[in-house]
Amino acid sequence: DRADFLPSDTDIDAKVAELEELVAMQAQQGAEQESGADEFSVGPQPDAPDPAEKAIAEYRASIEASVGMTKYREMLGAESSFEKVFLPFPSVATGEPVWDLADGPTPEDDPKPDWMPQVTWNALGKDDNGKTLRQFVKKSAASGDPIPAFFKGQIIRTIRQGLVDELGIDWFFDTTLPDDVFVRLGARSAEHSEVAAEAARSALAEGTGSEQAVAQAELAARAAADAVRDVPTDEMWYLVSNMVADADVELVMRELLTLRGMQWVLSQAGRWMQPDEMREAYDEHRASYDGTLFPLRAIIMFKGYDSVDRYREHYRYRKSYEAWRSETMTEEELEDHYRAGGRHFFERGKVVVDLAFEGTQGQPFEQASFEQAKAKLMASLGRIGETLGEGDDVREYSFDDVMAEHPKMPVRTPQGDDRTFQRNPLRIRITESELSIFLQGYSMIDDLFYNGQRGEIFGPYAETCRRHVWGAEINAGVWVARVKNYVRGRPLAPLEGSNELQAKDDFLSQNYLYWSQECLKLILPRVKPAGTESSDG
């Protein structure tokens, strides 16, 4: 009965409590680590706020500032329904035997518990990590202990990914689809079913199969083929239409035009990767992270992507460009990048900066809010040098006053030194990422890190990208940075071995971002109003 899988308010309350428990646990662990790292620590201060309560309050505030609690509860309700269908955890201990991972990898004939759906068992059995999680679930069911929130999130994500892999999702950027189709569902499942049907027919021809097996396999193949569905863009639009602001529209248009420009240039040069070529390159790229401390999903989050599919879409452009540019890159160019343009980065250098931030919290996520925040910072910057006070207290208004009037963003405030950064941590500090830099066409951090001088002020810079890992309304605002100093981390090592590989990677990455903006400039004159024919057909 479908009603059995619908979430109740009690189910959703339990999900909220589960997540808040996880937030509190992480906050408490962070506080304990910070206290333990301080040799002069005298323990918790009586007036200090409880770290768990503070973290939960910030967690709730971040929800209200982004999607709102009502919408968030709807999302949790969907998660609850998913768990009821695909992880119907037993209400009492099963006492079933569980393989001890200390004895080695899970055997191939490890039995599936009766309470676990076959599709869930299969989804968790696609790799060693999934099989380990599968044993963890079995152990919890056997003992009757609930699955801790931290592990449950990982388990649910693995189940979802396994189901998606089995079903098959073809996006508009992965394969050739009708112009009005956003995504195709079920093609991979249909292919697998047809392969199984062909195997059944071959077995019958060889005398090892049966007509009944062929009939069943062909019936399953026809059902899978009939289930393949093209989802039009119009059916997806309503999910996001009420959440798109003018600031989003500008970035979306920049992205679409930039991608179109890059594809046009690459196609003209004969370097645009075809779908089959792209799949092979991406599979090789993904496999290179298997078994490492940092799986690809973690790497793409660091780059700013919260979707593997969106990362894969952009990877096609980057890989096509890098394969093309690598052939023309000279030793002199690489040497110049290593010893001149990128020298400070390769010396493990740091920059000492003062930061000021004017947020847009409480304001609509739109260009007018950013312009208002920018105007406030500009007004403060315009006062630098203004005389303040009287008599012996006379002084000039300085950047320190700007920082006092516009304190740093409270969200994601790091522990320890909040002024001295290497390049990538400073990007994260002001919510820049590889994705946001690509979308906005500029990196204030790269600019000040590579091109700045002591005392130089950069900004105001509006961070308008919220559709990436570090972005959200609660992080949105305008930044200003003053360069205090540059600190060299080590002498520049010889350009060889791993240093040469890193230099090539950074050279291609920096040039890719610059080249993408040149492609945008190139395509703009070719853009025609709707209903007219473009100049390239």
**Single-letter amino acid, residue 278:** M
The answer as to whether 239 is a domain residue is no
The answer as to whether 19 is a domain residue is yes
Same domain, 356 and 380: yes
Q: DSSP H helical segments within 209-273, as ranges? A: 211-227, 233-237, 246-268
Residue 348: predicted pLDDT:
84
Residue 48: predicted pLDDT:
60
Same domain, 293 and 415: no
What mean pLDDT value characterizes the chain?
84
* Residue of 350, 352, 344, 345 whose CA lies nearest to 484: 352
The answer as to whether 173 is a domain residue is no
Same domain, 128 and 195: no
Residue 523: CB partners within 8 Å, gap ≥ 6?
A: 257, 258, 260, 261, 264
Q: Which domain holds residue 36?
A: 2-167
Same domain, 155 and 129: yes
Same domain, 376 and 502: no
Respond yes or no on whether the N-terminal peptide bond of residue 525 is cis (omega within 30° of 0): no
Please give the torsion angle defined by the CA atoms of residues 287, 288, 291 and 295, in that order, rounded to the nearest 10 degrees. -90
> DSSP state, 207?
T
Task: Show the low-confidence residues of the chain (pLDDT under 70).
Answer: 1, 30, 32-49, 65-67, 291, 293, 408-417, 468-474, 526-537
Query: How long is the chain?
Result: 537
Q: Cα angle vertex 288, ends 283, 292, to 5°? A: 135
Residue 471: predicted pLDDT:
63
| Percentage of the residues of the chain whose pLDDT score is greater than 70 | 90
Spatial separation of the C-alpha atoms in residues 313 and 439, rounded to whole Å = 14
The answer as to whether 172 is a domain residue is no
Same domain, 113 and 95: yes
Same domain, 329 and 402: no
* Residue of 492, 483, 473, 407 whose CA lies nearest to 450: 483
Which residues sit opposite 396 in a β-bridge?
387
- Would strands 420-421 and 457-463 be described as parallel, antiparallel, or unpaired? unpaired
> DSSP state, 492?
P
Same domain, 358 and 375: yes
Spatial separation of the C-alpha atoms in residues 359 and 477, rounded to whole Å = 4
The answer as to whether 233 is a domain residue is no
Same domain, 151 and 45: yes
Which residue among 199, 227, 255 closes a domain?
Answer: 227
The answer as to whether 375 is a domain residue is yes
Residue 97: predicted pLDDT:
86
The answer as to whether 293 is a domain residue is yes
Give the tens place of pLDDT for each residue, 148-189. Answer: 877 788 888 889 888 888 888 888 887 888 989 989 999 888
Give the tens place of pLDDT for each residue, 321-348. Answer: 999 999 999 999 999 988 887 888 888 8
Spatial separation of the C-alpha atoms in residues 483 and 447, rounded to whole Å = 11
Q: In the chain, how many domains are there?
A: 4
Same domain, 88 and 129: yes
Residue 37: predicted pLDDT:
44
Give the tens place of pLDDT for each residue, 247-292. Answer: 788 888 889 999 999 999 999 999 999 988 998 999 899 888 876 7
Same domain, 61 and 133: yes
Same domain, 148 and 252: no
The answer as to whether 258 is a domain residue is yes
Residue 399: predicted pLDDT:
92
For residue 456, give Cα distances in angstroms to 186, 409, 479, 485.
55, 21, 14, 10
